[in-house]
Amino acid sequence: MSRFPEGFLVGAATAAHQVEGNNVNSDYWAMEQMQYTSFTEPSLAAVDHYHRYEEDISMLAAAGLNSYRFSIEWARIEPREGEFDEREVEHYRKVLECCHAHKVEPVVTLLHFTSPKWVIEKGGWEEPQTITYFARYCRYVTQQLGSLMHYVCTINEANMGLQIAAISARFQVQMMAKMKQAQQANASEEAAKSTEGSVQVGLNMQKMMANMEKQKAENLEVFGTETPQVFVSARTPEGDILAMKAHQAAKKAIKEVNPKLQVGLSLSLHDIQAKPGGEEVAAKEWEEEFLHYVPYIKDDDFFGLQNYTRSVYDENGICATPEGAELTQMDYEIYPQALAACIRKAYALLQLPIMVTENGIAVSDDEKRVRFIDEATKGVCDCIAEGIPVTGYLYWSLMDNFEWQKGYSMTFGLIEVDRTTMTRSAKPSLAYLGGL
């Protein structure tokens, strides 16, 4: 018997740029190719999901999963301003049809970090005009493909830019302090390691800071501005709210075309905990990470909750990972209990159906992944038993893929991919999740 209620979505997630390959008209593609790039390696053919989606969706379905979250790539649909590419629409139509043929419920994200390069050249995610561009693209996709979807996530981790702003500021402070303290040659490396462990997405802080000046000049050549505002650039408070307005405008456009679609966005939430004395700092963190978004999303159809770990605060700020804690390849703590804690906290404030749109760990030992999924999903079931309407659990990620600046070294997947032959091999965790 399944541990989940009837109709519950059990699945896995990916994002276009991380798996499809050759996303050549996107901002990320351009950044990866730069001389002074912060990326460890470029995405190139990724894991060729663009051509192998059928195999990937079949594997997911055969293992017993019933839902697949993926993203439609704006840079493919609208590679140049106002030019919509119908061949790419047809591609995504086939992906959606493939899901339905396998009785897999698609959960479609319309923006998962990457944007068309032209959007960034026009000011990107600090420029109010982007709201209009984004809503126009969302309307177009809904007109073309809306009848094949039920669940739409407008923006993935709309709060990531603000998290990155905080992390960059923290990194600079730490680096200065360490340099002063010891004048060590490896001071910045140490600061990088400890700060990177506190960011939930693949960033190379040290490379970013070291190349800053040179990057500015190159950015000017490539994007026409020294500071291109991609979706996950360090956000200003205005840019942060701009993303909320883009979500609202997109939702309005989608509903005008197809009122039946279930629309929400996703946020990256940590299980924020306070040590005695750290309550105020933790409360401020929660306000920044979640609370101030509530007015913008409280009328959505669902909330996409993404969680990877916890963060603990004392009166001085974020605490180091506890001594002896098990870490993921991303350098943060394996802490599956965080998911249920986030669900409870978010539901108490939102009172909306909650879909876990991402939760996972990057580890080489798949048994650890199985244990993580077991713990995390037990937590989900406890929440459901308490009366919280959790509608799905989508593991990140269906397959090992391009972890942004960190490249291909982080293995989050339920499926392993040999990138020289593009051969897929299911890890035991795939069947484990499918069997729950």
Binding site for ligand BGC (CB under 6 A): 15, 18, 156-157, 200-202, 268, 358, 396, 403, 412
Report yes or no: 14 and 399 within 8 Å, Cβ to Cβ. Answer: yes
Question: Hunting for tokens 């460890």 — which residue is that?
Answer: 40
- Give min distance, CB of 397 to ligand BGC, in A: 7
Question: Please, which residue, 255 or 368, has the CB nearer to ligand BGC?
Answer: 368
d(CA 28, CA 82) in angstroms, rounded, equals: 20
Report yes or no: 10 and 434 within 8 Å, Cβ to Cβ. Answer: yes
- Give min distance, CB of 269 to ligand BGC, in A: 11
Beta-carbon contacts of 239 under 8 Å, excluding residues fewer than 6 positions away, are 125, 126, 161, 229
- Give min distance, CB of 86 to ligand BGC, in A: 27
Question: Please, which residue, 157 or 289, has the CB nearer to ligand BGC?
Answer: 157
Report yes or no: 203 and 211 within 8 Å, Cβ to Cβ. Answer: no
Question: Please, which residue, 208 or 384, has the CB nearer to ligand BGC?
Answer: 208
SS3 sequence of 138-204: HHHHHHHHHHHCCEEEEECCCCHHHHHHHHHHHHHHHHHHHHHHHCCCCHHHHHHHHHHCCCCCCCC
SS3 for 401? coil
Report yes or no: 432 and 393 within 8 Å, Cβ to Cβ. Answer: no
- Give min distance, CB of 402 to ligand BGC, in A: 8
- Give min distance, CB of 309 to ligand BGC, in A: 10
- Give min distance, CB of 1 to ligand BGC, in A: 31
- Give min distance, CB of 406 to ligand BGC, in A: 8
Question: Please, which residue, 56 or 403, has the CB nearer to ligand BGC?
Answer: 403
Question: Please, which residue, 194 or 268, has the CB nearer to ligand BGC?
Answer: 268
Question: Please, which residue, 187 or 433, has the CB nearer to ligand BGC?
Answer: 433
- Nearest residue to ligand BGC, scored by beta-carbon proximity: 201
SS3 for 130? helix
d(CA 198, CA 209) in angstroms, rounded, equals: 17
- Give min distance, CB of 411 to ligand BGC, in A: 11
Question: Please, which residue, 17 or 178, has the CB nearer to ligand BGC?
Answer: 17
What is the separation of C-alpha 386 from the centre of its chain, rounded to a whole number of angstroms?
28
Question: Please, which residue, 145 or 153, has the CB nearer to ligand BGC?
Answer: 153
Other Cβ atoms closer than 10 A to 54:
14
- Give min distance, CB of 325 to ligand BGC, in A: 18
Question: Hunting for tokens 């970090």 — which residue is that?
Answer: 113
Question: Please, which residue, 149 or 201, has the CB nearer to ligand BGC?
Answer: 201
SS3 for 344? helix
Residue 409 DSSP label: G
Question: Please, which residue, 64 or 407, has the CB nearer to ligand BGC?
Answer: 407
Give the strand pairing for 266-274 and 303-314: parallel
Question: Please, which residue, 312 or 399, has the CB nearer to ligand BGC?
Answer: 399
From the number of C-beta atoms within 10 Å of its C-beta (0-12, 13-18, 19+), residue 225 rates as middle
Find residue 264's DSSP bridge partners. Answer: 153
- Give min distance, CB of 57 to ligand BGC, in A: 19
- Give min distance, CB of 157 to ligand BGC, in A: 5
* b/e per residue 284-311 (b: at least 16 CB within 10 A): ebbebbbebbeebbeebbbbbbbbbbbb
